[in-house]
Amino acid sequence: MTVLNQPLPTPRAGIIIACMNQKGGVGKTTSAVNLCGEFAKHNLRVLLIDCDAQGNAATSLGISKRDLQSSTYEIIMGTHRISQAIQPTRRTNFDIIPASERLSGVQVELVDAEDRDYRLAKAIEPVRAHYDIIMLDCPPALGFVSVNALAAANTVLVPLQCEFLALEGIAQLKNIIDRVHGHLNPVLSILGVVMTMYDGRTNLAQQVVDEVRKYFPVHICNVPIPRSVRASEAPSYGQLLSEYDPEGRATVAYAHVAQELLSRLNIRGGNA
C-alpha cells in the first residue's frame, strides 16, 4: 500500500501532523501556526514544534527567542528533556517548542548516531498523551530534520502555493514520504493538501487548483487560503490571523480548513 491510500490515523491522544513542503515561502509556517490556533479554539490541546532553524513559528506568535535555552535542537540531541523546551504561547491550550539556529547543525552532529531518524519521535513520546494534536513545522528541505518529522508523524499536511509550477517538486516530496512510510513509519498517511496564497482574480490560481485537484483528488482541502496583505502582516505583530484580522478572508479560510482536517481525522473538539 502506498502512502497515498494509507488510512488516516484513528483519533486518540497525540495525533502528530508534519506540515511539509521542501519549497520555502509556500505558507508552511503560516498554516502550521494558524491551524494550531484554530485547533486550540476547538478546545483541543495543541503543541507546535518548530523544526526549522529559522525559528519563524515562535516569532509569528510574539515569542522572543532571545536567550533561548531549550529548543527543538536540544530535544533532538537528547541533552534536554522535552518538558524543559515546552513554552506556553499565552493562548489557551496552545504550547510551543521554538527552534534556534543551532538546529541547522544537527544533521552533521548526528551523522553517525544510532537511531538518527527516530530522535524526534523518541523525544516527543513522553508528552504525546498530554496533547490532542502535535504540529511539526518543517524546514524547506528534505534532509535529516524532515525525515525525523516524517518518522515521528502519523500524517502529513502539504501547503502548496497557488503559483505556476506549484506541483514541481511534489514527486520528490511524495517519494520521500513513500520511503519513510516503507522503511521507518508504516502508519504514515497524507492528511491534506492546503492551497495557499490563492488570488481569485487570476485564471492562473484556478488552473493551479484544478491541476492539484487532479493530482490529489482526495487530499486537496475544499477551501483555498486567499492571498491577503493582513496574512503577511500578522506575524510581524506576533499575532495569529484570528487575533489580527478576526473577520478576514484568510482567517475564515483557515477556520474552514481546520474544521475540515478535524473531520477527516474524526476529531470532535469542543466549542469553536
Ligand X SMILES: Nc1ncnc2c1ncn2[C@@H]1O[C@H](COP(=O)(O)OP(=O)(O)O)[C@@H](O)[C@H]1O
Please report, as ranges, the residues that interact with ligand X according to CB under 6 A: 24-30, 56, 140, 196-197, 225, 227-228, 231-232, 235, 250
Looking at the Cβ atoms of 25 and 200, the one nearer to ligand X is: 25
196 binds, among Mg ion, ligand X, none (CB under 5 to 8 A by kind): ligand X
Choose among 104, 155, 96, 144: nearest CA to 120.
Answer: 144
- Least distance from Mg ion to the Cβ atom of residue 52, Å: 5
Looking at the Cβ atoms of 29 and 251, the one nearer to Mg ion is: 29
Looking at the Cβ atoms of 191 and 250, the one nearer to ligand X is: 250
- Least distance from ligand X to the Cβ atom of residue 237, Å: 11
- Least distance from Mg ion to the Cβ atom of residue 145, Å: 12
Looking at the Cβ atoms of 141 and 187, the one nearer to ligand X is: 141
Looking at the Cβ atoms of 25 and 186, the one nearer to Mg ion is: 25
- Least distance from Mg ion to the Cβ atom of residue 19, Å: 9
Task: Scan residues 53-92 and list those touching Mg ion (CB under 5 A).
Answer: 56
Q: How far is CA 179 from CA 64, 103, 155, 186, 188, in A?
A: 36, 24, 14, 10, 10
Is 194:159 a contact under the CB 8 Å cutoff? yes
34 forms part of the interface with Mg ion (CB under 5 A): no
- Least distance from ligand X to the Cβ atom of residue 236, Å: 8
- Least distance from ligand X to the Cβ atom of residue 79, Å: 26
227 binds, among ligand X, Mg ion, none (CB under 5 to 8 A by kind): ligand X
User: What CA–CA distance (Å, rounded) separates 263 from 243?
Assistant: 24
Looking at the Cβ atoms of 14 and 159, the one nearer to ligand X is: 159
Looking at the Cβ atoms of 140 and 169, the one nearer to ligand X is: 140
Considering CB under 5 A, how many residues would be counted as binding Mg ion?
3
181 forms part of the interface with Mg ion (CB under 5 A): no
Pairing of strands 15-19, 155-161: parallel
Choose among 189, 261, 190: nearest CA to 225.
Answer: 261
25 binds, among ligand X, Mg ion, none (CB under 5 to 8 A by kind): ligand X
Choose among 26, 20, 80: nearest CA to 52.
Answer: 20
Scored b (16 or more CB within 10 A) or e, 203-224 reads eebeebbeebeeebeebbbebb
Helix (H, G, I), strand (E, B) or coil at 263: helix
Is 238:63 a contact under the CB 8 Å cutoff? yes
110 binds, among Mg ion, ligand X, none (CB under 5 to 8 A by kind): none
DSSP assignment string, 102-168: GGGGHHHHTTT-TTGGGHHHHHHGGGGGG-SEEEEE--SSSSHHHHHHHHH-SEEEEEEESSTTTTT
- Of all residues in the shown chain, the one whose CB is closest to Mg ion is 29
For residue 22 the three cell numbers come to 521542501
Q: Which of 6, 29, 34, 60 binds Mg ion (CB under 5 A)?
A: 29
User: What CA–CA distance (Å, rounded) separates 190 from 212?
Assistant: 14
The gap from C-alpha 59 to its chain's centroid, in whole angstroms, comes to: 16
Residues contributing to the site for Mg ion (CB under 5 A)? 28-29, 56
